[in-house]
Amino acid sequence: MDRELIKRYLKGECTPEEKAEIRKLMSTGEAESLFDDVLNEGWNDGEPTAEDNDAQQLAAWKERFAQKLKEGEENIVKPSRNYNWLKYAAIWAVFILIAGTTYTYYKKGTEKQPVIAMQETINPNGKLIKIKLSDSSTVTLNAASKLKYPEHFDGKTREVYLEGEAFFDVAHDPAHPFIVHTSKIKVSVLGTSFNVRSYGGDKKVTVAVATGKVGVLAKTEGSITYFVLPGEKIAYNLTDTEPNLSKIAVNEIGAWQNGMLVYHNETLENISRQLERWYNVKIIIKKDELKQMRFNFKQKNDRLENVMKTLQFAGGVHYAIDAATVTIW
C-alpha cells in the first residue's frame, strides 16, 4: 500500500477494488502511519497551488476531501480517525491562510489606483486671479483662462492643464517635475518662473521665461524638446513646424499681472483679442487690411477709452465705443 494509492483515493481516482483494499487497511494499525505521511506531505501533488486557487476552487477542494473522509469513517478506528482529522484540519488551515493571503494581495494589486481629486478654476473676462497650489507654487491666471489642477500633488510629477494665459512661479522640487499641459505644447520645469499663453483663438502659443530653465515640447509627431532660458521667449505658430526663439526683457514677462499692456510689433488683430478679454467687450475691425497693422507701445492698463486713443494716435485708425462694442475702421 503506497502513498500514491492513498492520494488517488483521497482525490477520488481509485478503482472499486482499490477502494475496498484501502478501506480494509483503515481497520488496521498500518493505516495510521501511511495516512500520516500523506497528510504531512500536504496532499497537494497535482492540485492547484494556493496561488492559483480562488474561493470556488478552495470550497470544492474542501468539500471533496471532507466527503472522502466521511466515506471511510465507518471503517476507521475512532482514535486513529480523530488523530487524522486534527492533522488534516491543521494542514487545511494553513492552505486556507496561504490562499486567502494570496487572494487578498492579488486583489489589492489589481485594484485601480485612487482617483485624484481635481479642481478647476475658470477666470472670466476682465478679471485676474491668483491660485496657490498644494506644493506652494503660485499661478496668476489671466482673463478668459482656465486652470485644472489636483487638490494635492501625489505622484512622481506635478501636472496642471491650462487654457488661456498664466504666469507660473513654481516651487523648486527636483524629484517631482512640474508640467504644464496645453492643447498644443507641454512645458516641463523643476522650479522656475515663466509665462504661458495658449488661447484657443490665437494663431500662436508662447512661453517666456523669467527665471530658471524651461523645457518646451510641441504635441506633434517628431517634435523635440527646446530649452528656454531667462529672457527668452519661444513661439509656436500653428501653421509652422519649427518654433521661433527670441529675446524678451525679463521685466516685461508677465507684466500684465501689474496691469501693463506691452506690445512689440504686434498685429491689431491680436491686440484686439487681448483687449476683448481684459475689458469684456466685443471689438469689430471693419477692414481686413487693418487686422495686420502692427503696433509697438507700452501702456498702463487704464480706461478702454485711453487705450483706443493710443491706437488711434499710433496707427491712424478710427474707433467708436457703443456700450460693450468697439468698432475700428
CA distance 181 to 297: 31
Comparison of pLDDT for 272 and 66, the residue scoring more: 272
Q: In the prediction, which pLDDT does 52 show?
A: 42
Q: Assign 13 a pLDDT band (cuts: 50, 70, 90).
A: confident
**Among 66-70, 83-87, 248-252, 274-278, which is the least confidently predicted range?**
83-87
Taking all residues of the chain, what is their mean pLDDT, rounded to a whole number? 80
Q: In the prediction, which pLDDT does 80 show?
A: 39
Is the pLDDT at 141 greater than 50? The verdict is yes
CATH of 259-329 among 3.55.50.30, 3.40.50.720, 3.30.70.20, 3.90.226.10: 3.55.50.30
Is the pLDDT at 74 greater than 90? The verdict is no
Q: In the prediction, which pLDDT does 4 show?
A: 76
Q: In the prediction, which pLDDT does 15 show?
A: 82
Which residues are within 8 A (CB) of 100 and not within 5 positions of it... i.e. 6 or more apart? none
Segment 196-201 shows an average pLDDT of 94
Which residues are within 8 A (CB) of 19 and not within 5 positions of it... i.e. 6 or more apart? 9
Query: Which amino acid is residue 259, in one-letter code?
Result: G
**CA angle, corner 90, sides to 86 and 93, nearest 5?**
135
Segment 5-21 shows an average pLDDT of 75
Q: What is the CATH number of domain 113-256?
A: 2.60.120.1440
Is the pLDDT at 269 greater than 50? The verdict is yes
CA distance 203 to 138: 27
Residues 194, 216 contacting (CB under 8 angstroms): no
Segment 285-296 shows an average pLDDT of 95
Comparison of pLDDT for 99 and 199, the residue scoring more: 199
Residues 27, 1 contacting (CB under 8 angstroms): no
Per-residue model confidence as pLDDT tens digits over 200-218: 988 899 999 999 999 999 9
Q: How many CB atoms lie within 10 A of CB 161?
A: 15
**Among 73-87, 178-192, 248-262, 268-282, which is the least confidently predicted range?**
73-87
Query: CA–CA distance from 310 to each of 94, 183, 290, 299, 307 (Å)?
Result: 86, 34, 15, 9, 5
Per-residue model confidence as pLDDT tens digits over 21-71: 777 766 655 555 666 566 555 544 444 444 344 445 445 544 655 565 555
Comparison of pLDDT for 105 and 258, the residue scoring more: 258
Per-residue model confidence as pLDDT tens digits over 231-260: 999 999 877 768 999 999 999 999 999 999
Q: In the prediction, which pLDDT does 280 show?
A: 95
CA distance 82 to 85: 5
Comparison of pLDDT for 228 and 40, the residue scoring more: 228
The rounded Cα 54 to chain-centroid distance in angstroms is 31
Residue with cell 505644447: 185
SS3 readout for the chain: CCHHHHHHHHHCCCCHHHHHHHHHHHCCCHHHHHHHHHHHCCCCCCCCCCCCCCHHHHHHHHHHHHHHHHHCHHHCCHHHHHHHHHHHHHHHHHHHHHHHHHHHHHHHHHCCCCCCCEEEEEECCCCCEEEECCCCCEEEECCCEEEEEECCCCCCCEEEEEEEEEEEECCCCCCCCEEEECCCEEEEECCCEEEEEECCCCCEEEEEEEECCEEEEECCCCCCEEEECCCEEEEEECCCCCCEEEECCHHHCCHHHHCEEEEEEEEHHHHHHHHHHHHCCEEEECCHHHHCCEEEEEEECCCHHHHHHHHHHHHCCCEEEECCEEEEC
Segment 276-303 shows an average pLDDT of 93
CA distance 326 to 211: 38
